[in-house]
Amino acid sequence: MRSRLLGLGAAVLVALSPAVPTASAAPATPSTTRAPSDFVALSDVDPTILQEIRYFTPHNFTGDPVDGYRAPMCILTREAAEGLHRAQLQFLLQGYSLKVYDCYRPQRAVNDFVAWAKRLDDQRMKAEFYTGVDKSNLFRDGYIAEQSGHSRGSTMDLTLVRLPARPTPPYVRGQRLVDCTAPQAKRFGDNSIDMGTGFDCFNTLAWPLDSRVQGQQLRNRVLLLNGLVQQGFAPYPYEWWHFTYKPERFPNIYFDFPVARSSLRR
């Protein structure tokens, strides 16, 4: 176990090292309707990767479908999608599948998050996603920001599901919410393997290297992290589910075309 923990720490340090931008990453004015040809639907690259696009649904920290998500689909730069495909091939051999919660995120969705964070009276989803955080501190604590790496197209939120995958129960508006840090058997019935918290959990327990995460939960995080780092993905030190393919195709551009098949060029 000690050697695996050391490997995890080394992977985080290496993966977070600065990357050299590609030649095609010059700043440009992004379209608000169509994606550049570099973007693809993940399902066209690897249809075996599961998709549960939470922001298309009301089951997210805002309590409503998020602006800009017109279809429950994952869009990424081609390099990022191909990296996930390579990782998926290895995970399938071990009896797991990747599942994405979010991929490319338009700037209008980020603006929607910002507007929600300023509505301090809207606490509908607090009992699941941010029980220990004062909503007035979401900007200060870094949970909400005015720009997101997701809008550049090479960042995604994802987990692992043991095969054969059991279905995730549907979320019903108004159902009783359970703290995202609760034991897996009590929180929302996501079919993910146990990572110690649910997705989008605004809590330090979601940090990949939080010392309170031990045993099988830690081994699951190590499995996900090592499999992705080997294929060129860098983890984010404050969310176990968040990874970015490096080097990014568009390191300086925040796109705003909607998440929809019609945004992609044929």
pTM for the complete prediction?
0.90
Average pLDDT value for residue range 54-71? 98
- pLDDT computed for residue 266 by the predictor: 75
**In whole angstroms, what separates CA 154 from the centre of its chain?**
11
Please report which helix (H) or strand (E) contains residue 157, including its range.
strand 155-162
Exactly one of 82, 128, 239, 248 is catalytic; which is it?
A: 239
Tens digit of each residue's pLDDT (9 = 90 or more) over 158-190: 999 999 999 999 999 999 999 999 999 999 999
Edge-to-edge strands of the sheet including 233-236?
A: 50-51, 96-102, 155-162, 239-245, 233-236
User: CB-based contacts of 29: which residues, under 8 Å, 6+ apart?
Assistant: none
pLDDT value of position 33: 84
What's the rounded Cα separation, in Å, for the pair 13 and 2?
17
Is 82 in the active site?
A: no
pLDDT digits (tens, 9 = 90+) for 71-96: 999 999 999 999 999 999 999 999 99
pLDDT at 2: 34
3-class secondary structure, 77? strand
Give the pLDDT confidence score for residue 30 in this predicted structure. 66
C-alpha distance from residue 208 to each of 100, 177, 200, 203, 204 (Å): 17, 24, 13, 11, 9
Residues with Cβ < 8 Å from 144, sequence gap 6 or more? 113, 114, 117, 138
